[in-house]
Amino acid sequence: MTDQHTDVFGLRKDVKEVEEGSALSPKFDEKGLIPVVTTDFKTGELLMHAYMNKEALIESIKTGEAVYWSRSRQVLWRKGATSGFVQKIKQMVVDDDQDCVWLRVEVAGGASCHVGYRSCFYREVPTGLSDKELNKPLTLKFLEMDKVFDPEKVYGDAPNPTKL
Amino acid sequence: MTDQHTDVFGLRKDVKEVEEGSALSPKFDEKGLIPVVTTDFKTGELLMHAYMNKEALIESIKTGEAVYWSRSRQVLWRKGATSGFVQKIKQMVVDDDQDCVWLRVEVAGGASCHVGYRSCFYREVPTGLSDKELNKPLTLKFLEMDKVFDPEKVYGDAPNPTKL
């Protein structure tokens, strides 16, 4: 990222301007990150939830492909660089107070989850429960039965990004 | 929240169990929060991005209505308690490493944004830009032209949650 790019974002000086103005003035948190919601452009399905730093946001805007910041690896993360599942940005949208980015993408190969599923969101949580039901461990229901790819074949022995 | 509810979540002892098991074992961050992505059940549109603490997650699971943690007000936030725009949870889904929750909701009244729009995500960010275009402030494009409600009438002089 060159210094000139720092001019690309507006300053956050006024709530009304941030909420109703036309300048992109993203709010990065104390770690320099902004959360990103990525959905499938055609189906609306939620594919993943990740983070960008300033450089990743500018790179995503510039290239039209999703570039995140990997918190587990602490590197710029060009989605698909390893797996081939590049996310082409069809639309990028920012929220009212500009502390979240929404990417609507097309995914080459159709998978976005490192575990091998199409979406990272493949398990349903039961809701509308009684006190009795809430008195024991909840059981998740799988929404996707089959993996799109074999993560061992794609990622080999790369460290698993999931942290306990 | 009563103590008994702490048993409702599984322990995060094993990556494979967290990713591929059927126990809900959410990961709360150092502030005790988990990010939540809320989409419209019918249209798939992203409505808002917010946070829950443990109590809010349990209350959402129990009541089947979205309950968040308000970071700006530092209180449990029963969505719609002031505005009437309650979010009925049609489906709750958790992601691979269980550090994000996806709510698919129906919204009474059809609005989810405190600024008055249907969705919090009402401005598009341009992408696929040249270095020259990236050398000046970006201009957002409004996707929603008309507000669903007048925030002054609904919220009165309550403090605006947007922080600069």
Domain coordinates of chain B in residue numbers? 3-115
What is the bridge-based pairing of β-strands A34-40 and A101-107?
Answer: parallel
CB nearest to A24's CB, from B49, B63, B138: B138
State the pLDDT at residue B149.
Answer: 86
Interface test with A, best of B140, B150, B152, B160 (most A CBs within 10 A): B140
Contacts of B45 (CB under 8 A, 6+ apart): A44, B39, B118, B119, B121
Domain B3-115, CATH: 3.10.20.810
Number of alpha carbons in the 13 Å side-chain half-sphere of residue B1: 17
Query: Is there a contact between B93 and A46 if contact means CB atoms under 8 Å apart?
Result: yes
State the pLDDT at residue A164.
Answer: 87
Instruction: Choose the most confident range, by mean pLDDT, from A158-162, B92-96, B105-109.
Output: B92-96
Backbone φ and ψ of A55, nearest 5°: -65, -40
Cα A137 to chain centroid distance, Å, stands at 28
Touching check for B129 and chain A: CB below 8 Å? yes
State the pLDDT at residue B39.
Answer: 94
Predicted complex ipTM: 0.86
Lowest average pLDDT, out of A128-137, B44-53, B70-79, goes to A128-137
State the pLDDT at residue B7.
Answer: 72
Cα B92 to chain centroid distance, Å, stands at 12
State the pLDDT at residue A111.
Answer: 78
Nearest CA in chain B to A26: B164
Touching check for B27 and chain A: CB below 8 Å? yes
State the pLDDT at residue B132.
Answer: 86
Query: Is there a contact between A160 and B92 if contact means CB atoms under 8 Å apart?
Result: no
pLDDT (tens digit per residue) in B126-162: 898 888 888 888 889 999 888 888 888 888 878 888 8
Q: Is the pLDDT of residue B1 over 50?
A: no
What is the bridge-based pairing of β-strands B141-142 and B123-125?
Answer: antiparallel
Domain A28-153, CATH: 3.10.20.810
Answer for the pair B41, B104: CB distance below 8 angstroms, yes or no. yes
d(CA B164, CA B149): 24
Touching check for B42 and chain A: CB below 8 Å? no
Touching check for A5 and chain B: CB below 8 Å? yes
**Whole-structure pTM over 0.90, yes or no?**
no
Work out the minimum CA distance from B125 to partner chain A, whole angstroms: 5
Q: At A92, is the secondary structure helix, strand, or coil?
A: strand
Query: Mean pLDDT for each 10-residue chunk of chain A (164 residues)?
Result: 62 91 92 96 92 95 94 92 90 93 90 85 90 85 87 82 86
Work out the minimum CA distance from A72 to partner chain B, whole angstroms: 12
Average pLDDT over residues B39-63: 93
d(CA A25, CA B30): 26
| Among candidate residues A58, A63, A53, the one with its CA nearest the CA of residue A27 | A53
State the pLDDT at residue A6.
Answer: 57
CB atoms inside a 10 Å sphere around CB B43: 11
State the pLDDT at residue B65.
Answer: 95
Buried b (16+ CB within 10 A) or exposed e, B142-157: eeeeeebbebeebbee
